[in-house]
A and B are shown apart, each in its own frame.
Chain A
Amino acid sequence: MPISLSLRPPSNLSFLLPSFSSLVPYVSRRNESSARRTTKRLRTKPDPSFTSSIPPSQVNDHIVFNPPSSAPSPYHTPPVFLPANDPRRTLLAQSHQHANPYDQPDKRLPPIVHKHKPYEKKYHLREKEIEEIRRLRSEDPYKWTRAKLAEKFECSQFFVGMVAEAPSEKKAAEQRMIEEIQEKWGRRRRYAREDRGKRRELWGKDL
């Protein structure tokens, strides 16, 4: 009827207006045809640690203990650090859960961080060789550096530094050289180095 048509609000006639649907971002909607596809994506299986060892009769009658992975507590003393008379020593030795996994013969230890292995100390240098190290170092400290002497006498650089310290002139000259290099640094490099030092301090505080 013409009268009832005129009473219709103009908003109902939106199909007469130009379409703006291309400006609205596409949002996926679930409808009858796509429901199975989209709900299947939400159906995830629980972690096997929640269910594996539990018989189906006890499913509603147990406690799930599955803590998230986190850093170990510092209050947990490793078994080797326990004193001989501590009762935890025997308790941990009897427990299967807390047994050391690397004790089994087929279980290999994880890879080492640094490639060089901890070396065995040889203790082979006698008084004579040490005198020789000192002599070489005092003769020409620029030629006979710690590294060279360590290589020659097959000991560690730390040991060379311990028995024959570099003369103070050489130390001062090296310090001057380092300062000269550092003076050439720009702002960004200097800040980056300072920040690195600060971060390193935080490691020591375990922050």
Chain B
Amino acid sequence: MKGLHLLRWSGSVLSPRTRPCCFIHKYPSQYRPQPFNILLRFQSSAAVPIRTISEPEDDTEPQNPAHYTLLPSPPPSRALSSARLSALHARLVLPPRLPLESLARCLVDPSADTNPNFNNASLSILGYDLLGYYTSEAIVCRYPRLPTEVTFAAMSAYCGSKTLAAVTREWGVEVAAAPGGEVDPGVLQCTRQEAGNASVNGTGTQFKDLPKVAEDPSTRPNPEQQRRGWSRGATSKTVYDDDFGDEIERTETDYAERPELRQEDAQRKAKRGVTLEVASAGFVRALMGAVYLHAGKRAAYNFFKAHILSRHLDVSKLFEFRQPTRDLSKLCAREGFESPVARILSETGRKSRHPVFVVGVFAGKDKLGEGSGGSLDEARIRAAIGALKGWYLYSPLEVRVPSEATEGKPWEPVLVDGGEVFV
């Protein structure tokens, strides 16, 4: 695998705004009655194909500050004068290659500005994929035997929407009450969704009681059966669903076949608004994508390590077993160990109100796990859980992830074994 020299070809992908000459984007007059026909706006960073628009003569912005209110989001030229943006850039120790204008663009949610040249949709798709890639390789290489469901749970604990929303709060990013061109570009711009218990247009009905709009078609082959609770096994989640085991509404293939769908979806979302959690997650993902595009892979990985992977997660707390003793005996049969036997290691107060038993699970003469509890059954089950966790949480001594494989040493494959226990 050879490293891509991003910066060599990024000129065509990255924002033209980062170089001195800007050009004007013709803004469609769809928002409000406008005092002049063509509203001048400056091209922000554009990962989408650049439209062929005649280059402007000079780099100007609206003379009258009142014209800012006509824009759905603050113009990129105002990013340089925002104290909040500079402070955020410095606080996160972002690479100097990342310009303030791109950071400002990361803060514009598609619900605030539907124009893909000015919102963070494209960056956040890239950032989503990067975060998913780095997180999944970190989890899978570190704990190669982890069950699928636990992997999904760990994925969403590291880079799910809830976590990224918490990260946004921890970074000190505030949310604009309503998006607009006059708002400081250093705050998160998004149209908030109506609360579920808000009344619809002053009537008595609440938003949560409204009949749901027909949602997007599912990517699963048999949506009927799935509504009845079928075919949502862990294995099918790896095939059909997203990084966190949740259902995908529309896939990139759908968008590739009908590109106008993306714009439609963005507009629909803008109408309905988004939750704060979704907008915050979109911001962090977009920032990840922007760091990758502007500063390269190494900087992106460092950013990921500093802000996502450094968060503490106790993977052993993510497990839930229904029949651990049965699972353990299946595991021992599969791996060729002797069948597990529970043995009392120590006990106290058997005839008292609060006895404590310490039970170990043994395969032959080897102790697999140990657990304690107030009854023999509890101690036995906890010991079986301890043994299963000991199996699933195996971690190799030297962990190398595939993204490090390009740097010098050849790649050695990680452990692949029988996988989780199926009964």
Contacts and interface: CB of A to CB of B under 8 A. Distances in A.
B324 interface: yes
A46 to B, nearest CB: 23
A83 B397 contact: no
Interface in A112-159: 112-114, 117-118
Contacts of A106: none
Interface string A101-118: 011000001111110011
Interface string A65-83: 0000001101111111111
Contacts of A111: 343-344
A56 B317 CA distance: 45
Contact of B369 (A78, A113, A117): A78
Interface in B385-402: 385-387, 389-391, 393-397
B341 A118 contact: yes
A159 to B, nearest CB: 15
A74 B316 contact: yes
Given A80-B337, A100-B366, A206 B394 contact: no
Contact of B390 (A78, A88, A103, A113): A78
B390 A109 contact: no
Contacts of A100: 365-367
Given A82-B394, A86-B397, A205-B320, A113 B376 contact: yes
A74 B397 contact: no
Interface stretch (B63-71, B189-197, B268-276, B356-364): B356-364
A88 B394 contact: no
Nearest to A75: B393
Given A72-B386, A206-B319, A206-B382, A78 B366 contact: yes
**Majority secondary structure of chain A interface residues (helix, strand, loop or mixed):** loop
B243 interface: no
Contacts of B378: 203
Contact of B372 (A71, A77, A102, A112): A71
Contact of A110 (B360, B381, B385): B360
B359 A77 contact: no
Contacts of B415: 83
B109 interface: no
A15 to B, nearest CB: 52
Given A112-B342, A204-B321, A81 B365 contact: no
B216 interface: no
B406 interface: no
A103 B397 contact: no
Contact of B344 (A83, A102, A113): A113
B184 to A, nearest CB: 45
A87 B396 CA distance: 9
Contacts of A114: 342
Contacts of B342: 112-114
A206 B373 CA distance: 11
B362 to A, nearest CB: 7
Contact of B394 (A72, A77, A87, A102): A77
B343 A109 contact: yes
B260 interface: no
A74 B396 contact: no
Contacts of B103: none
Interface residues of B, number: 46
Contact of A113 (B322, B337, B359, B363): B359
A80 B373 contact: no
B370 A72 contact: yes
A118 B376 CA distance: 17
Given A75-B393, A78-B366, A87-B397, A205 B319 contact: yes
Interface string B328-371: 00000000010101111100000000000001101101111111
B382 A83 contact: no
Contacts of A81: 368, 390-391, 394
Contacts of A112: 341-344
A117 B321 CA distance: 24
A78 B335 CA distance: 14
A72 B341 CA distance: 18
Contacts of B381: 203-204
B316 A80 contact: no
Contacts of A72: 369-370, 386
Contact of A78 (B320, B368, B380): B368
Nearest to A103: B365
Contacts of B373: 203
Contacts of A113: 342-344, 359, 376, 379-380
A114 B371 CA distance: 16
Contact of A74 (B337, B345, B390): B390
A74 B393 CA distance: 7
Contacts of B368: 78, 80-81
B283 to A, nearest CB: 33
Nearest to B383: A113
26 contacts: A71-B372, A74-B316, A74-B390, A75-B316, A77-B391, A78-B366, A78-B367, A78-B369, A78-B387, A78-B390, A80-B363, A83-B415, A87-B397, A102-B362, A102-B367, A112-B343, A112-B344, A113-B342, A113-B359, A113-B379, A203-B378, A203-B385, A204-B322, A205-B320, A206-B317, A206-B382
Given A74-B393, A81-B394, 18 more contacts: A71-B371, A71-B372, A72-B369, A77-B390, A77-B393, A78-B368, A87-B397, A110-B343, A111-B343, A112-B341, A113-B343, A118-B341, A203-B381, A204-B320, A204-B322, A204-B381, A204-B385, A205-B320
4 smallest beta-carbon distances between A and B, as pairs: A74-B389, A113-B342, A110-B343, A74-B316
Interface of A: 71-72, 74-83, 86-88, 100, 102-103, 109-114, 117-118, 203-206
